[in-house]
Amino acid sequence: MKKNYLQVIMVILLMITASTVNGQIDHSKHGSHSSGSAVKSFKAEMSVPSEIRQEQIFPITILIKDEKERNVTRFETFQEKLMHLIIVSDDLEFFRHLHPDYKADGSFLTETSFPDAGEYTLFSDYKPENSGEQISVLKLRIKGTARPLTVPDTKKTEIIVGDVKVSMDVSPKTVKTNEETTVAFDLKMVSDDSPVKGLHPFLGEKAHLVVIRKSEILNVNDYIHAHAMKEGEPSLIKFKTQFPSAGIYKLWCQFNYKNEVVTADFVQHRDYSPGL
């Protein structure tokens, strides 16, 4: 009993307070999050074990509080879930999309593990009742053996995932600041190059796209979440979004193929012509 009590104390001491975007997240801008007019402010606090090593399965508890430090206990479902938790390694080589379980006291619980040591960033996406969608950013450090450094292939536009070939096209190639960009993913069968069939909605949409800009310290301004356009052939998935600046971006397109979530990832170097 004393041992368990000590572990609880250690977890509380490791609680991390997140930086939070206040106000509504406007998905009508296809993933370009802006703070807007803040009516209420929220923050996320995360509790984890005192030491986490690679390949160790461990619990993550995320507690949502308002500006008066009160637990937020009512949330609205969006994209079929109460919370979407995007986890990436800071080198953007690792990606995971989780949906923590709500525990009715303002806290969300999930379990996960990491294959490599290093720094990780968690983007917690939630919507308190009668408030706008919020993004909180949390940080984790995993002990163990770090993954060797790799040079991202920014020229790759095709990837094979199982029996599906995913080809990506970004238009225009060079854009002005805040100019709308179309990102398209063409899904073909590896066997005969025919359009993929057996696609189903994923979290209420044709597909989802997460884009994160490579930064020394990842923050909410590096995060983009876009929904697929509804029109067009099922096997041609298009998104409209904006890249906030020139730089290296990692893109993860997720879609439902034969009732399994498939993730196709690409790296892009975005160039900018002079803005207006």
User: The domain spanning residue 182 has which CATH number?
Assistant: 2.60.40.10
How many whole angstroms separate alpha carbon 29 and alpha carbon 104?
Answer: 31
Q: Which of 162-166, 178-182, 188-192 has the lowest mean pLDDT?
A: 178-182
Is 15 within the bounds of a domain?
yes
User: What is the predicted pLDDT for the residue at 174?
Assistant: 77
How many whole angstroms separate alpha carbon 129 and alpha carbon 76?
Answer: 5
How many whole angstroms separate alpha carbon 99 and alpha carbon 85?
Answer: 6
Buried/exposed 96-111: b ≥16 CB within 10 Å, e otherwise? bbbebebeeebbbeee
Is 231 within the bounds of a domain?
yes
How many whole angstroms separate alpha carbon 49 and alpha carbon 142?
Answer: 11
Question: Higher-confidence residue: 172 or 102?
Answer: 102
Is the pLDDT assigned to residue 32 strictly greater than 80? no
**Amino acid (1-letter code) at residue 133:** E
Q: Which of 22-31, 119-128, 144-153, 208-217 has the lowest mean pLDDT?
A: 22-31
Q: Are residues 33 and 112 in the same domain?
A: yes
Q: Are residues 88 and 220 in the same domain?
A: no
Q: Are residues 38 and 80 in the same domain?
A: yes
Structural domain total, the chain: 2
- Give 202's DSSP letter: B
Q: Are residues 19 and 84 in the same domain?
A: yes
Is 90 within the bounds of a domain?
yes
Is 150 within the bounds of a domain?
no
Q: Are residues 61 and 168 in the same domain?
A: no
User: What is the predicted pLDDT for the residue at 40?
Assistant: 80
Is 181 within the bounds of a domain?
yes
How many whole angstroms separate alpha carbon 186 and alpha carbon 252?
Answer: 14
User: What is the predicted pLDDT for the residue at 273?
Assistant: 60
Q: Specify the 3-state DSSP secondary structure of 8.
A: helix
Q: Are residues 118 and 27 in the same domain?
A: yes
Torsion sign, CA atoms 87, 126, 231, 189: positive
Q: What is the CA radius of gyration of the chain?
A: 19
Is the pLDDT assigned to residue 156 strictly greater than 80? yes
Domain around 204: 158-272
Is 149 within the bounds of a domain?
no
Burial group, residue 193, by CB count within 10 angstroms (0-12, 13-18, 19+): exposed
Q: Are residues 180 and 120 in the same domain?
A: no
Q: Are residues 24 and 63 in the same domain?
A: yes
| pLDDT tens-digit map of 210-258 | 999 999 999 999 999 999 999 889 999 999 999 888 899 999 999 999 9
How many whole angstroms separate alpha carbon 203 and alpha carbon 241?
Answer: 19
pLDDT class of 20 with cuts at 50, 70, 90: very low
How many whole angstroms separate alpha carbon 246 and alpha carbon 272?
Answer: 6
Is the pLDDT assigned to residue 140 strictly greater than 60? yes
Question: Higher-confidence residue: 7 or 185?
Answer: 185
Question: Higher-confidence residue: 36 or 58?
Answer: 58
Region 125-149: what's the mean pLDDT? 94
Is 70 within the bounds of a domain?
yes
Buried/exposed 157-174: b ≥16 CB within 10 Å, e otherwise? eebebeebbbebebeeee
Q: Which of 108, 142, 176 is the last residue of a domain?
A: 142
Q: Which of 142, 175, 198 is the last residue of a domain?
A: 142
Q: Are residues 13 and 131 in the same domain?
A: yes
